[in-house]
Amino acid sequence: MPVLTRLIPSPVAVDIRAGALNDLASVLADERVSQSGRLAVAVSGGSGARLRERIAPSLPGASWYEVGGGTLDDAVRLAGQIKSGRYDAVVGLGGGKIIDCAKFAAARVGLPLVAVPTNLAHDGLCSPVATLDNDAGRGSYGVPNPIAVVIDLDVIRQAPARFVRSGIGDVVSNISAVADWELSQRVNGEKVDGLAAAMARQAGEAVLRHPGGIGDQDFLQVLAEALVLTGIAMSVSGDSRPSSGACHEISHSFDLLYPQRAASHGEQVGLGAAFAMHLRGAHEQSAQIARVLRGHGLPVLPEEIGFSAEEFVRVVEFAPETRPGRYTILEHLDLTTEQIKDIYADYVKAIGS
């Protein structure tokens, strides 16, 4: 009997718990990521510098590189610095910008990346995509998935609460993104990768239904795991389909139309997901998402992040242009300005205040 299976590109080590950072060196040695201990560690000047002081003694063979920001130039510069160092691996220790820089640099010099995120702001911490600012604005670059992910929940707790909130919005938006994917399958025959869809949806549902709050250890555990699984779902499908649909088009539209006023990624995609679920007629799910987001202190109305109803209508109208080729409920309904206005008024009534 033939055994048909597939290999999933996934990290060899996933360590998510309080105090995980203290054992970073032994996790890497045990998993044979770095037996020699020769590591290139990319850190930010801020939170990274403090962590460096704390963990440098446990990584005697590491070289430390301060990364300026999240631009393509920063990432290329980092790659140039580490390419002749004979390292076993690159460690990205910090927020999303540092991880993305490290991902890109590691890919460029052909080394595996160890992701050690210090906040849970979005699902990029273990994804095959590096998002970097370039001359044209912002670009997404395909890279290998991290070979190991270490998330210390004690470190996560020290990050500002807004980062945890942003992660909640990003992972809950998976539910709407997968619904968009399935819509495209029904209408256009687009192939849905069932495993990727299951991983992304279950991650979203677990966070949606978890009774804990952003200060609870067990909630942070589930949120961190959900974000990691979402990243791996993207590796499984080979694109961002499992975690990015109309919710993300709406967020990109906020970013492009109002670059100076945009809120956090998670705030925008969470709001976008609640609205997109309403658009597709899933009113109960939309209200549930809105209720949960509100419970965690996330916005569900554009006014709550400083945008008027008219501005939001413009955002929704422009959203499909931000991601040509991606079919979501927005492209499916192809609404006129007047229709968007009406449905938005209906949404406001449906979710209540």
Provide CB contacts within 8 A for 166, sequence distance 6+. 120, 121, 122, 264, 265, 266, 267
Toward Zn ion, which CB reaches closer, 15 or 170?
170
Q: Determine the Cα–Cα distance for residues 284 and 121; give it in Å rounded to an integer.
A: 27
Toward Zn ion, which CB reaches closer, 44 or 166?
166
Q: Is 267 in the site for Zn ion (CB under 5 A)?
A: no
Q: Determine the Cα–Cα distance for residues 319 and 193; give it in Å rounded to an integer.
A: 25
Minimum distance from residue 224 beta carbon to Zn ion (Å): 15
What track of x and - describes contact with Zn ion for positions 152 through 191 (by CB under 5 A)?
Answer: ------------------x---------------------
Q: Determine the Cα–Cα distance for residues 94 and 240; give it in Å rounded to an integer.
A: 23
Minimum distance from residue 80 beta carbon to Zn ion (Å): 29
Which residue number is nearest to Zn ion in terms of Cβ?
170
Toward Zn ion, which CB reaches closer, 89 or 168?
168
Closest CA to 111 of 19, 41, 203: 41
Q: Determine the Cα–Cα distance for residues 7 and 209; give it in Å rounded to an integer.
A: 30
The side-by-side arrangement of strands in the sheet containing 62-66 is 13-17, 148-152, 113-117, 89-94, 39-43, 62-66
Minimum distance from residue 210 beta carbon to Zn ion (Å): 19
Toward Zn ion, which CB reaches closer, 204 or 320?
204
Minimum distance from residue 346 beta carbon to Zn ion (Å): 26
| Count of residues engaged in binding Zn ion, rule: CB under 5 A | 1
The enclosing H or E element of 12 equals none
Toward Zn ion, which CB reaches closer, 112 or 299?
299
Minimum distance from residue 123 beta carbon to Zn ion (Å): 5
For binding to Zn ion (CB under 5 A), which residues are involved? 170
